[in-house]
Amino acid sequence: MAVDDKIVNLIRETVQESMQAFGLRDVSVRAGEDHDGEPVLFIEAEYDLTDAPIDTTVTAALTTKLRDKLWADKETRFPHIRHKFPEAQKVKPRRRANA
Protein backbone atom coordinates (compact mmCIF):
# COMPACT_ATOMS: atom_id res chain seq x y z
CA MET A 1 0.00 0.00 0.00
CA ALA A 2 1.32 3.42 -0.95
CA VAL A 3 1.41 6.51 1.22
CA ASP A 4 -0.70 9.42 0.00
CA ASP A 5 1.26 12.65 -0.65
CA LYS A 6 -0.99 14.50 1.81
CA ILE A 7 0.04 12.06 4.59
CA VAL A 8 3.73 12.28 3.65
CA ASN A 9 3.57 16.08 3.83
CA LEU A 10 1.76 15.98 7.18
CA ILE A 11 4.46 13.66 8.57
CA ARG A 12 7.34 15.78 7.22
CA GLU A 13 5.84 19.01 8.59
CA THR A 14 5.23 17.46 12.01
CA VAL A 15 8.74 16.02 12.27
CA GLN A 16 10.23 19.35 11.14
CA GLU A 17 8.23 21.28 13.75
CA SER A 18 9.63 19.15 16.57
CA MET A 19 13.10 18.23 15.33
CA GLN A 20 14.45 21.09 13.17
CA ALA A 21 16.43 22.48 16.12
CA PHE A 22 18.36 19.19 16.33
CA GLY A 23 19.87 19.29 12.83
CA LEU A 24 17.09 17.55 10.89
CA ARG A 25 18.27 17.00 7.32
CA ASP A 26 15.73 14.68 5.70
CA VAL A 27 12.53 12.74 6.39
CA SER A 28 11.45 9.70 4.37
CA VAL A 29 8.19 7.77 4.66
CA ARG A 30 7.25 4.34 3.36
CA ALA A 31 4.41 1.94 3.94
CA GLY A 32 5.14 -1.51 5.35
CA GLU A 33 4.05 -4.17 7.80
CA ASP A 34 5.04 -4.68 11.42
CA HIS A 35 6.09 -8.03 12.90
CA ASP A 36 2.41 -9.06 13.20
CA GLY A 37 1.68 -8.26 9.56
CA GLU A 38 -0.27 -5.09 10.43
CA PRO A 39 0.09 -2.13 8.04
CA VAL A 40 2.31 0.64 9.44
CA LEU A 41 4.21 3.73 8.34
CA PHE A 42 8.00 3.59 8.56
CA ILE A 43 9.52 7.03 9.02
CA GLU A 44 13.26 7.73 8.89
CA ALA A 45 14.55 11.06 10.11
CA GLU A 46 18.19 11.83 9.30
CA TYR A 47 20.21 14.46 11.12
CA ASP A 48 23.41 16.45 10.76
CA LEU A 49 25.74 16.74 13.74
CA THR A 50 24.80 19.74 15.86
CA ASP A 51 26.03 21.41 19.04
CA ALA A 52 22.51 21.27 20.50
CA PRO A 53 22.16 18.10 22.59
CA ILE A 54 19.19 15.93 21.65
CA ASP A 55 16.30 16.18 24.09
CA THR A 56 14.90 12.65 24.37
CA THR A 57 11.61 13.94 25.76
CA VAL A 58 11.04 15.66 22.39
CA THR A 59 11.86 12.54 20.37
CA ALA A 60 9.64 10.41 22.63
CA ALA A 61 6.71 12.84 22.37
CA LEU A 62 6.95 12.93 18.58
CA THR A 63 5.31 9.52 18.10
CA THR A 64 2.21 10.60 20.03
CA LYS A 65 2.09 13.93 18.21
CA LEU A 66 2.31 12.17 14.84
CA ARG A 67 -0.22 9.51 15.76
CA ASP A 68 -2.74 12.12 16.91
CA LYS A 69 -2.38 14.15 13.69
CA LEU A 70 -2.55 11.06 11.50
CA TRP A 71 -5.66 9.72 13.21
CA ALA A 72 -7.32 13.14 12.94
CA ASP A 73 -6.71 12.83 9.19
CA LYS A 74 -8.25 9.30 9.14
CA GLU A 75 -4.84 7.58 8.69
CA THR A 76 -4.93 4.49 10.91
CA ARG A 77 -1.47 3.03 10.24
CA PHE A 78 0.84 3.36 13.25
CA PRO A 79 3.94 5.54 12.70
CA HIS A 80 7.29 3.87 13.50
CA ILE A 81 10.03 6.50 13.66
CA ARG A 82 13.74 5.80 13.32
CA HIS A 83 16.00 8.71 14.21
CA LYS A 84 19.40 8.50 12.51
CA PHE A 85 21.75 10.77 14.45
CA PRO A 86 25.50 10.94 13.86
CA GLU A 87 27.51 8.75 16.28
CA ALA A 88 29.12 11.81 17.88
CA GLN A 89 25.79 13.57 18.59
CA LYS A 90 25.39 14.60 22.21
CA VAL A 91 22.23 13.78 24.15
CA LYS A 92 20.81 15.99 26.88
CA PRO A 93 21.21 14.31 30.30
CA ARG A 94 17.96 13.20 31.87
CA ARG A 95 17.11 14.26 35.38
CA ARG A 96 16.62 11.36 37.71
CA ALA A 97 13.84 11.29 40.22
CA ASN A 98 14.88 11.20 43.83
CA ALA A 99 13.83 7.99 45.53
Q: Which domains does the chain have, with CATH numbers?
A: 5-84 (3.30.300.30)
At residue 71, does pLDDT exceed 90?
A: yes
Contact 48, 10 (CB under 8 A): no
Average pLDDT, stretch 20-39? 96
pLDDT of residue 27: 98
Q: How many CA atoms lie within 13 A of 43 on its CB side?
A: 26
Helices and strands of the chain, counted as H and E runs = 2, 3
Query: pTM of the predicted model, to two decimals?
Result: 0.89
pLDDT of residue 95: 74
Q: Which of 37, 47, 39 is nearest to 82 (CA)?
A: 47
Average pLDDT, stretch 34-49? 97
